[in-house]
Amino acid sequence: MQQNQPDSNQRVIIVGCGSMSRTWVRHMTERSDAEIVAFVDPVVDAAKKAAAATGNGAPVFTSLAEALGAVQADIVCDITIPAAHREVAVTALEAGCDVFAEKPMADSLDAARAIVAAVRGSGRSHAVMQNRRYNPNIRAYRSLVLGRRSPGEDRERDGIGRLGVLTADFFLGPHFGGFRDAMQSPLLLDMAIHTFDQARFISGANAVSVHCLEHNPIGSWYAGNAAAFCTFRMSDGSIFSYRGSWCAEGAPTSWESSWRAVGELGTAIWNGADAPYAEIADGTSTEFMRPVRRVEAEPTWTGRNGHDGCLDEMFAARAAARPAETDGTDNIHSIAMVFAAIESARTGREVSIEET
CATH of the domain at 339: 3.30.360.10
What integer pLDDT is reported at residue 119 of this predicted model? 98
Domain stops at, among 128, 153, 183:
128
Domain stops at, among 98, 128, 158:
128
What integer pLDDT is reported at residue 300 of this predicted model? 84
Angstrom distance (rounded) from CA 311 to CA 304? 9
Is residue 18 domain-shared with residue 163, that is, in the same domain? no
Is residue 122 domain-shared with residue 179, that is, in the same domain? no
What integer pLDDT is reported at residue 287 of this predicted model? 78
Q: Is residue 109 part of a domain?
A: yes
Is residue 153 domain-shared with residue 287, that is, in the same domain? yes
Own/partner pairs, 53-62, CB within 8 angstroms, 24+ separation: 53/22, 53/25, 54/25, 54/29, 56/29
Domains identified in the chain, total number: 2
What integer pLDDT is reported at residue 151 of this predicted model? 42
Q: Contact 35/10 with Cβ under 8 angstroms?
A: yes
Q: Contact 142/295 with Cβ under 8 angstroms?
A: no
> Phi then psi for 211, rounded to 5 degrees?
-120, 125
CATH of the domain at 52: 3.40.50.720
Is residue 115 domain-shared with residue 165, that is, in the same domain? no
DSSP 276-309: -EEEEE-TT--SSS--EEEEE------S--HHHH
**Containing domain of residue 213, as a range?**
135-301+335-355
Q: Is residue 212 part of a domain?
A: yes
Angstrom distance (rounded) from CA 351 to CA 282? 39
Q: Is residue 313 part of a domain?
A: no
In the chain, the DSSP E strands lie at 10-15, 34-40, 60-61, 75-78, 98-101, 126-128, 163-171, 207-215, 227-234, 239-245, 258-263, 266-270, 277-281, 292-296, 351-352
> Phi then psi for 37, rounded to 5 degrees?
-110, -10
Is residue 121 domain-shared with residue 62, that is, in the same domain? yes
Is residue 164 domain-shared with residue 227, that is, in the same domain? yes
Domain stops at, among 101, 128, 155:
128
356 residues of the chain, pLDDT tens digit each: 334 444 568 999 999 999 999 999 999 999 999 999 999 999 999 999 999 999 999 999 999 999 999 999 999 999 999 999 999 999 999 999 999 999 999 999 999 999 999 999 999 999 999 999 999 999 999 999 998 544 444 444 568 999 999 999 999 999 998 888 988 999 999 899 999 999 999 999 999 999 999 999 999 999 999 999 999 999 999 999 999 999 999 999 999 999 999 999 999 999 999 999 999 988 777 777 788 889 998 888 899 999 999 999 999 999 999 999 999 999 999 999 999 999 999 999 999 997 65
What integer pLDDT is reported at residue 284 of this predicted model? 73
Is residue 265 domain-shared with residue 159, that is, in the same domain? yes
Is residue 160 domain-shared with residue 291, that is, in the same domain? yes
Q: Is residue 146 part of a domain?
A: yes
Is residue 16 domain-shared with residue 162, that is, in the same domain? no
